[in-house]
């Protein structure tokens, strides 16, 4: 695959991660979740969309922060979130769908950042 294709995949995965994360936090907030999660995810979404924008503008440097994000969240944040938040909840289909989508986007971001 070409570098342009990997760039597009990375941009889409970053935007998907930003949208999914923020949307899920809003959903959990409506169910009684903390406002801090919504605000924190909003900041993260802005940063991820900023990385996607830098990639759109041709900034290859943005793949490295994207890779760091993918590794950090896959190794530290998501396992802790799964143990501390998801398992204690009575998770529903949407919770499982979000978790699967988020893990998938982290994997895709990591691979695309390395392949770019």
Q: Can you tell me the mean pLDDT for 94-112? A: 96
The pLDDT of residue 33 is: 86
pTM of the model: 0.93
- Residue 9 CA to residue 15 CA, distance in Å, equals 10
- What domain count does the chain have? 1
- Domain residues for the domain of 100 are 3-115
Assign 49 a pLDDT band (cuts: 50, 70, 90).
very high
Q: Can you tell me the mean pLDDT for 9-33? A: 96
Helix axis angle, 63-72 relative to 93-115, nearest 10°? Answer: 140
- Residue 2 CA to residue 70 CA, distance in Å, equals 21
39-50 burial, b if ≥16 CB within 10 A, otherwise e? eebeebbeebbe
């Amino acid at each position: 695959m070409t570098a342009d294709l990997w760039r597009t995949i990375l941009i889409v995965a970053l935007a998907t991660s930003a949208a999914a994360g923020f949307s899920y936090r809003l959903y959990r907030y409506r169910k009684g979740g903390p406002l801090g999660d919504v605000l924190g995810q909003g900041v993260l979404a802005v940063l991820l969309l900023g990385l996607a924008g830098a990639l759109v503008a041709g900034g290859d440097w943005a793949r490295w922060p994207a890779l760091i994000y993918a590794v950090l969240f896959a190794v530290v944040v998501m396992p802790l979130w799964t143990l501390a938040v998801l398992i204690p909840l009575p998770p529903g289909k949407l919770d499982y769908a979000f978790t699967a989508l988020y893990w998938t986007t982290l994997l895709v971001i990591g691979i695309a950042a390395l392949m770019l």
